[in-house]
Structures are given as C-alpha cells and as structure tokens.
Amino acid sequence: MGKATGKVVKLNDAFSFLGGVDASTGELKVEDGGNISNKIFVFPKGKGSTVGSFVMYDLMVHGKAPAAVINRSAETIVTTGAVIASIPMVDNIDVDLICNGDEVVVDGDIGTVDIKGVKCIGAVSSALIVDDKVLLLKRPKTARSFPDVQSLVAGKIEPGETPEEAAKREIFEETQIVVDKPNVSGPKIYVREGDVIWEVYPFMYKLSAAKPVLNHENVSYEWFPVEEMKSKKTTVAKTNEIVAEMLKM
C-alpha cells in the first residue's frame, strides 16, 4: 500500500473519521486536536459509520489526507478508506511505542514502521517470587533509566549473553541471590523510554526463601503481594502486565 515519511500526530483512543476531522482542512475535532494533513496519523483502531471511509477519500480530494495511517488493529472502515484514498496503512503495530512528533518511515508494502532517532536495546526483567510475594526494587532518582520508580530485577543484556544468562547475572549483581533455571520464560515485550525502546525478556523464579543484599543500582526493596500488583502505580511501565502474564503460564 505504498510508503511514506513524516511526523506523527497521535490519538490515544479509537477514532471515527466521520465527525472526528474536518475533511476540507485536516483539522481534528477530538482530544487535543491537531492537523493530520500530510502527517503520519496514529491511533489504536477505527470506529463509527462506514461513511468514515468516504471522509478519508474527501480528505484526499482536498489535498488534506494523512501521509499514512498506523493502527494497532485494522478495522474495515479505515482499511477501506485507506484503499480508496491511496493512503499507506500499517496495522498490528504497538502504538504505545510511537509518540507525538516522532519522525517515522512507514512501509505499507511490508508492514513496517521505523522511528527515526530511536534505538532498540535488549534487556531482561525478572520476577522473584517468595510466598506469593514479588521482589520490587526501588531505583534511585539519579538512575539513567526509569528513575525513582520500582522495578523487577532488570538490566541490559551484555554482548555475547543469552537473555537467561543476563537475568541470572543481573539477579546476583543487584541482590546477591543465586538462581538456577527460571520457572517461567515470558514472551518478549517492548517499552518506550525517550529515545530508547527496551526489548524486554521476562523471567520468573519461584524461590523458597531469599534475602536481598542490594548494590548501588537500587536504594531499597519490597516484597509485594502478587495479587495486588494490578493496582500498583509506582512501577516501571508494563511491570504489572509482565507479572500477571507469567503467573498464568
């Protein structure tokens, strides 16, 4: 469906082209507004009337169509509109990783999105479980990544390491706890922080007992009940989801 390069205009909610945009100007009528003309328009999914497809065509007629559309999940109205208006479109994209103002390259032919100036770094995040409680480490305010919040035992994967080797090393370095094989290896997740996308490999270790001895990378620790993790608000992004997903496995 073609290629495009441009700056991102992003919405956080499902969007209807019918009533959501002025087809003669490209001005949005929802959230904080903005103009999508010749921009990369990012939103989770479409909604609303099938007339929305023809609004996309009308945008094209007025020369105000977006340069491309990026969705988390494709929806018939938006897909049809993209086709009739010749707008490159990509779906199955984690739109949480894209920010307003990003410069991106969209390739609708192969379904990829490249965010300029953003690098991807491999990391591990390990949940240590003792008596249905998970170990949370408090990061210092001076930490280079995710300062002043709680995290699982996490860190970068060093060159030549497998994710499992990195997890074992990080656990020992940060807590002096020795582990063997993980009980659970979760699916990879991605977390955006500024100009970095962390490619995170999650692990879970169920231990009979453990007493952490922290190094300089963290200032305190807490054993927190796993059943209360859903309501925990002071953790690194997606920590709650990581723990919940691995507990099901």
| Helix or strand holding residue 3 (H, E) | strand 3-10
Q: Are strands 133-138 and 150-151 parallel, antiparallel or unpaired?
A: antiparallel
Long-range contacts (CB closer than 8 Å, 24 or more residues apart) made by 89-98: 89/1, 94/190, 95/10, 95/42, 95/43, 95/44, 95/70, 95/71, 96/192, 97/190, 97/192, 97/197, 98/8, 98/10, 98/42, 98/70, 98/192
Judge whether 49 counts as a catalytic residue: yes
Annotated catalytic residue: which of 24, 49, 73, 220?
49
Could you write out the DSSP letters of every residue in 102-153?
-EEEEETTTTEEEETT-EEEEEEEEEEEETTEEEEEEPPTT-SSSTTSEESE
For residues 203 and 184, the answer to whether their CB atoms sit within 8 Å is yes
Catalytic annotation, residues: 49
